[in-house]
């Protein structure tokens, strides 16, 4: 039994069957990559996991509990954090504040007033946020506003925000898209390090094969809303079906 079990999930948008019959089992403390051509339904699948979409059919369980029908904030409280394909950050707030918010928010998301103390009065939380920014290599940008960042920086910031939550399952939707090569490599190193240091499971969608093969323990190939194969990276590399459906037309491995 994996920590995340997706069984028979289907989703239609009008006439378009975005997801057919998706079965996926993500094992605890592994990195599971989902690859596939544009429009394969990868983001749609993640949307079904975090409560943004409700699948038409099938079931999704996290750690034995169903996530279907729960609100996004409740699903997050179960331990699932997500980095979006289009970065979702607080554009009006500074980089530092962006990271401070998940550091202040309790894991259970409980409402706390905190209206009468200043942020500086919580050195532990400030230190944690600073450490998070150092980890993603953005500490020198801490006074910039979120909206003034480049796309790659926004994504690294969003990753820092999600990691600050100490999630059990981290969902990454194309985390390195829009990043410079050096930043991509930093991100790979960061995720590798996180994987070693923490009890964390990751599901990662990525077009950059270098990232996928550096990180993934298992790979699922999705095409036209259905999983084609699921295997270890080594086996996927040579798989004829994969080459035909995906790799052949986009990227050499």
Partner 1 sequence: MLGLNKTDSKFLLIVILLTLFTPFLMQPFAADSGLDQFNGGYPDLMQKVAIFGIFAVGFNILFGLTGYLSFGHAAFLGMGSYAAVWMFKLLTMNVIPAILLSMIVSGLLAVIIGYISLRRSGIYFSILTLAFAQMCYKMAYSVLTPITNGETGLQLSLSDPRILDGATESTSLPVTNIFGLAMNSSYKLEALNRVFTFNVGFYFCAVIAIIAFYIAIRLFRSPFGMMLRAVKSNQTRMNYMGLNTKPYTLAAFVISGMYAGLAGGLLAAMDPLAGADRMLWTASGEVVIMTILGGAGTLMGPVLGAGVIKYLENIFSKINESVLHSWFHWLPDGLEEVVVWVFARFTGEGWHLTLGLTFMLVVTFLPGGLVEGIKRLKKLTKRGGKPKDKLDAPDPEHTPTPSKHVV
Ligand X SMILES: Nc1ncnc2c1ncn2[C@@H]1O[C@H](COP(=O)(O)OP(=O)(O)OP(=O)(O)O)[C@@H](O)[C@H]1O
Query: Which residues here bind ligand X, judged by CB under 6 A?
Result: 13, 16, 18, 36, 38-44, 85
Beta-carbon count within 10 A of 86 CB: 12
Residue for token pair 């279907």: 68
Binding status of residue 72 toward partner 1 by CB under 8 A? yes
Interacting partner of 41 out of Mg ion, partner 1, ligand X, none (Cβ under 5 to 8 A depending on kind): ligand X
Binding status of residue 56 toward partner 1 by CB under 8 A? no
Alpha carbon distance 24, 32 (integer Å): 10
Q: Least distance (Å) from partner 1 to the CB of residue 199?
A: 18
Alpha carbon distance 48, 84 (integer Å): 13
| # residues near partner 1 by CB under 8 A | 47
Q: Which tokens sit at 231?
A: 């295997």
Binding map of partner 1 across residues 81-110, x = CB under 8 A, - = no contact: xx-x---xxxxxxx--x--xxx-xx-xxx-
Coil, strand or helix at 86: coil
Interacting partner of 194 out of ligand X, partner 1, Mg ion, none (Cβ under 5 to 8 A depending on kind): none
Region 111-130 residues binding partner 1, contact defined as CB under 8 A:
111-122
Alpha-carbon torsion (205, 211, 215, 217), positive or negative: positive
Binding site for Mg ion (CB under 5 A): 43, 85
Residue for token pair 């057919």: 20
H helix and E strand count, the chain? 10, 10
Q: Least distance (Å) from partner 1 to the CB of residue 114?
A: 4
Residue selected from 19, 60, 159, 161 as contacting partner 1 according to rule CB under 8 A = 161
**List of residues 6+ apart from 224 with CB closer than 8 A:** 20, 40, 41
End-to-end CA distance of the chain: 31
Point out which residues bind partner 1 (CB under 8 A): 50, 71-74, 76-77, 81-82, 84, 88-94, 97, 100-102, 104-105, 107-109, 111-122, 141, 143-148, 161, 165
């Amino acid at each position: 039994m994996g920590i995340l079990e997706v069984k028979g999930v289907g989703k239609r948008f009008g006439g378009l069957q975005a997801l057919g019959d998706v079965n996926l089992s993500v094992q605890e403390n592994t990195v599971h990559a989902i690859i596939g051509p544009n429009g394969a339904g990868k983001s749609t699948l993640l949307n079904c996991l975090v409560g943004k979409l409700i699948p038409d059919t099938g079931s999704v369980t996290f750690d034995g509990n169903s996530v279907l029908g729960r609100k996004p904030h409740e699903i997050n409280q179960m331990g699932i954090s997500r980095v979006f394909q289009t970065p979702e950050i607080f554009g009006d707030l500074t980089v530092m504040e962006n990271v401070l918010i998940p550091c202040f928010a309790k894991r259970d998301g409980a409402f706390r007033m905190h209206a009468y103390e200043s942020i500086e009065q919580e050195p532990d939380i400030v230190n944690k946020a600073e450490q998070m920014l150092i980890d993603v290599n953005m500490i020198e940008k801490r006074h910039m506003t979120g909206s003034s960042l480049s796309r790659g920086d926004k994504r690294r910031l969003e990753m820092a925000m999600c990691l600050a939550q100490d999630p059990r399952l981290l969902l990454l939707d194309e985390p390195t898209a829009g990043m410079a090569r050096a930043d991509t490599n930093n991100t790979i190193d960061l995720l590798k390090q996180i994987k070693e240091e923490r009890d964390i499971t990751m599901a990662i969608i990525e077009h950059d094969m270098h990232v996928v093969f550096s990180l993934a323990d298992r790979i699922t190939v999705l095409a036209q809303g259905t999983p084609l194969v699921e295997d270890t990276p080594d086996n996927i590399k040579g798989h004829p079906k994969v080459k035909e459906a995906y790799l052949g037309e986009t990227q050499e491995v």
